Chains A and B, each alone.
Chain A
Amino acid sequence: MKLLILLFGLFFGICTASAKVYTFAVVPQYSATQIKETWQPFLNFLSEKTGEKFELIVEKTIPLFEEGLKNQKYDFAYANPYHFVYFNKIGHYHAFARAKDKKIEGIIVVKKDLPIESIKELEGKQLAFPAPAAFAATLLNLAELKKQGIITEPTYVKNHENVYKGVARGLFTAGGGVKRTFNVLDNETSSELKILHTTKAYTPHAFVYHSRVNKPFIEKIQSTLILLESDKSGISFLNSMKIKGLIISKDIDWNDVRELGIDLEL
């Protein structure tokens, strides 16, 4: 009997060890709980449709996430456009999907009662941004300011909320953010602010894969994305992300971002 149990255990162990688990990291723009609630249904969907296992990775900070990409730690990732462009340039990661009918834009906010009407008036002023690599809030805004020859003094205040609060309290002349975070601001802060400038719309976050993942598997995944909109877990994911669906993408789809000429070292 003991021998039987041992043999069974050995067989089961071999079977388990042979199953591949793909890591899927998500850029930590929200809390870990929130990310898990949104993304776990998507990974469940993928597992179901592909028969492979996926493990969700949520790093504590964006720099740790960037570090993970740099170290090629993840098989799959959901990264912001600049992350993708940057690590794609190195050659390890490639895009396979993005949100349908969605573009990404940055905003510049100022205090309502300030007589500032144009971003040109921000010349030489102190501006707040969440983090140096925050794509829409920091990189898009700074790139456009730079394009127009406006030199500002950026200060990084960790997150969008701090940007808006800092501007509302008069600590900074202006701040960079995105509409989505601006719209969910508390009344006390939002009532003090106005949107001075909105950047052009750019290709949104990228679903990327590491080049070590075999191509047929990527194609299999891409073929299942159309089923998202009719799947229970898929619908849950799309609703949480506030997007209509996912479309198959190629690396060149982010050329608009590349054209910004951002040279931030990650």
Chain B
Amino acid sequence: MKKLNLLNFKLGFRLAITITTLLFIILSILLYLNSKNESERVSGEYRRDINVISKLLTNTSAEYILSYDLAQLDLMLKNVMDIPSIIEASFVNNKGQSLSFLKKDNQKTNYIESYSFPIVSNNEEIGKLELKTSLKNVQEDIKKRFRNSFLISLGFSVLLILTLLFFLDRIILKQIVELTKASRKLSEGDLEVSAKVVSSDELAELAKTFNETVIKLKKLDDERVTVFQNSKLASMGELAGGIAHEINNPLMIIKGNVGYISKHLGKADFANKVKVLESLEAIESTIERMSSIITSLLKLSRNNVNESMRPHKVKEIFENVTPLLLEKFKLSGVKTNILEIEKFMNIEFCCKPLSLSQVLLNLGNNAFDALESNNVENPFINFEIKDYEDQIEIAVVNNGPIIEEKIREKILQPFFTTKEVGKGTGLGLSLSKKIIEQHQGKFFLDNDPELTRFVIQIPKTLNCSST
């Protein structure tokens, strides 16, 4: 019993109470029926005894009644009164005179029965024997016995509860506790958990099945991580393809400036010095731009499936994607306000920043593809941030063609894509939705009639300890 914890106490107690209560009710009913039978049996026995006694008395008392032998009649009644159930007895002659009468002092008022037996002599009724009985003592004795039995069964029930608790703990609850512990760990995301098998019954089978299920879950999770990572790499690959092509431009700029510097480095006039310095500054800023692009790529390429939820500023989410998107947009002439939303950058909330960057990157890429494939005039991709009291809303808006209704319904389903074969995986939006749901937020396509607007809403009340 030492090992009883709250769980098996609750379950075991309920089980024990239920079984014991049922047993107790059955026992009580049986006891009640038994005492009723006993009462009837004893009452019957007493009535039979009284009949026998009365027969004896009526046979022998005739002579005494006729001769008014009151002393003998008194003696007979005195003997009769020794019978506990008889409380009153009298001999009455045929004139209605009471010849002898005896009554017990402690007169009982319950269960009274009256009897009258004729006394006959020479075929003539010469008197009567009248008796009054009370089975109160008998009934009280039976009640007392019932009460004692009831108390014994109550005690037995308590004992049964304790015994059941002991055996339930030993036989059933131990395995259930193991399963509960393992389930709790699993619900907390621990896929390494396994339930200890402590018995060899159906519950043990359940524990084994649970362990097998956990192994399969782990496998599925691994696959999910791989898919997620692949999808991300695909998005990044798409992006990087464009960036790699264009990264040549800054390299060309660097190359040109380096050539200019080496050409004018020997001419030490002031004008040339200024030119050289300008070239060096241009090289430096170009290198910085390239560095930030590469840093972003590196960060995003990391496996962020199991990143933890912590307080982060909006800035941290955007700085992972801004260099990548900005470079891409700039090269294709897509306007964006990504650098103009500075005032929201210090808003802090619980999130997984890399995962959210991944969502923004997906949305930015999708918007860019939509604009480019449809040759939209004056294309733009804007980022809108709204700071509500209870949530933060980030929307990615573009002026590409409005998504048709029939596509809107499927757009968040996995493996659905409108891109040409080999370009899209069809997982971007569905994974984005999953990431936002991990943040207990909402992800949806707004019903804006003129612009395509994907909205992310994340509650600020999110608990940072959750994953």
Contact = CB atoms under 8 A, between A and B. Distances in A.
Contact of B71 (A155, A156, A159, A171): A159
Say whether chain B's binding surface is mostly helix, strand, loop, or mixed: mixed
B67 interface: yes
A162 B73 CA distance: 10
Contacts, number: 32
Interface string A164-183: 01100111000000000000
Nearest to A170: B97
Residue from the set B68, B69, B74 with the largest chain A CB neighbour count within 10 Å: B68
A171 B69 contact: no
B204 interface: no
Contacts of A162: 68-71
Contacts of B71: 159, 161-162, 165
Contacts of B98: 169
A16 to B, nearest CB: 43
Contacts of B99: 169, 171
Interface in A102-144: 128
B70 A161 contact: yes
A53 B69 CA distance: 39
Interface string B75-103: 00000000000000000000001110000
Contacts of A128: 68
A165 B74 contact: yes
Sort chain B's interface into a size bin: under 10
A181 to B, nearest CB: 12
B176 to A, nearest CB: 79
A155 B68 CA distance: 9
Sort chain A's interface into a size bin: 10 to 19
A245 to B, nearest CB: 33
Contacts of A166: 68, 70
A193 B69 CA distance: 18
A54 B363 CA distance: 150
Nearest to B97: A171
A227 interface: no
Contacts of B67: 156-158
Interface in A186-209: none
Contacts of A159: 69, 71
A172 to B, nearest CB: 8
A43 to B, nearest CB: 30
Interface string B316-351: 000000000000000000000000000000000000
A158 B74 CA distance: 14
A68 B97 CA distance: 38
A156 B69 CA distance: 9
A171 B127 CA distance: 14
A157 B97 contact: no
A183 B308 CA distance: 117
A157 B99 CA distance: 12
Contacts of A156: 67
A165 B70 CA distance: 7
Nearest to A189: B70
A162 B67 CA distance: 9
Contacts of A161: 70-71
A128 B69 CA distance: 11
A170 B70 CA distance: 12
Interface string B46-75: 000000000000000000000111110010
A68 B208 CA distance: 113
A128 to B, nearest CB: 7
Interface of A: 128, 155-159, 161-162, 165-166, 169-171
Given A161-B71, A166-B68, 5 more contacts: A157-B68, A158-B69, A165-B71, A165-B74, A170-B97
21 contacts: A128-B68, A155-B68, A157-B67, A157-B70, A158-B67, A158-B68, A159-B69, A159-B71, A161-B70, A161-B71, A162-B68, A162-B69, A162-B70, A162-B71, A165-B74, A166-B70, A169-B97, A169-B99, A170-B97, A171-B68, A171-B97
The 5 closest A-B pairs by CB, nearest first: A157-B68, A165-B70, A161-B71, A162-B70, A158-B69
